[in-house]
Copies of this chain bind each other. A is one copy, B any other.
Amino acid sequence: MTSSNASTAYLTVACKDQPGIVAAVSGFLFSKNANIIHSDQHSSDPVGGRFFLRMEFHMKDLESKFEDFKKEFSETVAVKFEMIWTLTPAWIKKKTAILVSKFDHALMDLLWRAKRGELFTDITMVISNHPDLREAVESFGVTFHHIPVEKDKKEESEHKILELLNGKVDLIILARYMQILTSKLIESYPYKIINIHHSFLPAFVGADPYRRAGERGVKLIGATAHYVTEELDQGPIIEQDVIRVSHRHDIEELKILGRDIERQVLSRAVKWHLSQRVLVDGNKTVVFV
C-alpha cells in the first residue's frame, strides 16, 4: 500500500439518466476537496436510457474518513438519484478464490500475475474437484482445497465450497472449472463470478468444440470472459478476443492457441473487475478502460 493509494477510491454509479447527475457527484467531491483523477461515463440511450459513471479520485486522509464519506454521499447524492453505487478503496486488495478442474493454463497465469503485482488481489484459495494441481498451487504459497464432485452428491460438494468461501472472498474466478454451479452459489455472488470459455464464429455449443471448429475450417478462434448468471454461458460479456488459425493447425494446436487466448482474455477481465471498471447494464457490461 502506497500512501497515494490510501487516499484513492473508485466510485461507480448506475441510475436512470437525467440532468444533474454529474453536477451532483462532482459537486460533492469538490466539497470534500477530492480531486478526480479519471472519470468515465456512459448513457445507454440519449433518451430514457441508463446512466453509468466511474470516477477514480484522490482525497487526503480518505482512509480515516471513509465511512463518513460513504454515509454522506449516500444520503445527499445517491438517494436523490436512486443510484446503484459502489465505493471501493484502492488500498485494500480484494480477496479472490479460483475454482479449477484439471487445466492449469488460466490458473497459472492468474497466480503469476497476482504474485508480480499485475493483478491487485489476494488469491486466498484455490478449490478444485481434482487433486492434480495441489503442488503447483502451493508453490505460490496459496491454499489448495480438493473438493471432489460426485455425480449424485453435487449439492454436498457445493455446500463445502460455500462454507470455504463464506465471507472470505470478493471475487470467484472459474478458471476452467468444468462443473455447472448451482443457483445457490450463483445467487450468493451476483456479478462476482467470472467464467472463461472458448468462442468461435459461429459458436459450437456442446461437446468437443475445437474438433468441430477444426472440421468447419474456422479461420479465427477466440475466448469470452463473462459474469456467471443462471443461464449457462449467457451472462454479461466482459471481454473477448480472437487469434487467427488456418488449415495448418491441427486440433491439438487449436487447443494450445485456445489456451493462450483464454488466459489473456480472463486476466484482462479480472484486472478490470478488480479496479471496478466493469458495470453491469442488464445483460451486457459497460467496461471503462
Q: Using CB atoms and an 8 Å cutoff, list the residues of chain A in contact with chain B.
A: 4, 17-23, 26-27, 29-30, 33-44, 46, 58, 105, 108, 112, 116, 118, 139, 199-203, 215-220, 222, 224, 236-242, 246-248, 256, 260, 264, 281-287, 289
Q: Which residue in B39, B40, B116, B217 is a CB contact (below 8 Å) of A237?
A: B217
Whether the pair A17, B35 counts as a contact (CB closer than 8 A) is yes
Q: Which residue in B201, B202, B203, B216 is a CB contact (below 8 Å) of A284?
A: B216
Q: Which residue in B19, B38, B199, B202 is a CB contact (below 8 Å) of A42?
A: B38
Residues in B neighbouring A238, C-beta threshold 8 A: 219
Q: How far is the CB of A54 from chain B (nearest CB, A)?
A: 11
In the complex, the chain B residue whose C-beta lies closest to that of A8 is: B46
Whether the pair A240, B216 counts as a contact (CB closer than 8 A) is no
Q: Which residue in B19, B217, B242, B248 is a CB contact (below 8 Å) of A236?
A: B217
Residues in B neighbouring A248, C-beta threshold 8 A: 38, 42, 289
Q: Which residue in B37, B108, B247 is a CB contact (below 8 Å) of A112?
A: B108
Whether the pair B283, A215 counts as a contact (CB closer than 8 A) is yes
Knowing A22-B39, A30-B23, A35-B19, the reply to whether A219 touches B246 (Cβ < 8 A) is no
Q: How far is the CB of A5 from chain B (nearest CB, A)?
A: 11
Whether the pair A220, B222 counts as a contact (CB closer than 8 A) is yes
The CA of A289 and the CA of B33, in the complex, are separated in Å by 29
Whether the pair A260, B264 counts as a contact (CB closer than 8 A) is yes
Whether the pair B201, A218 counts as a contact (CB closer than 8 A) is no
Residues in B neighbouring A200, C-beta threshold 8 A: 201
In the complex, the chain B residue whose C-beta lies closest to that of A285 is: B217
The CA of A220 and the CA of B54, in the complex, are separated in Å by 23
Q: How far is the CB of A203 from chain B (nearest CB, A)?
A: 4
Whether the pair A30, B26 counts as a contact (CB closer than 8 A) is no
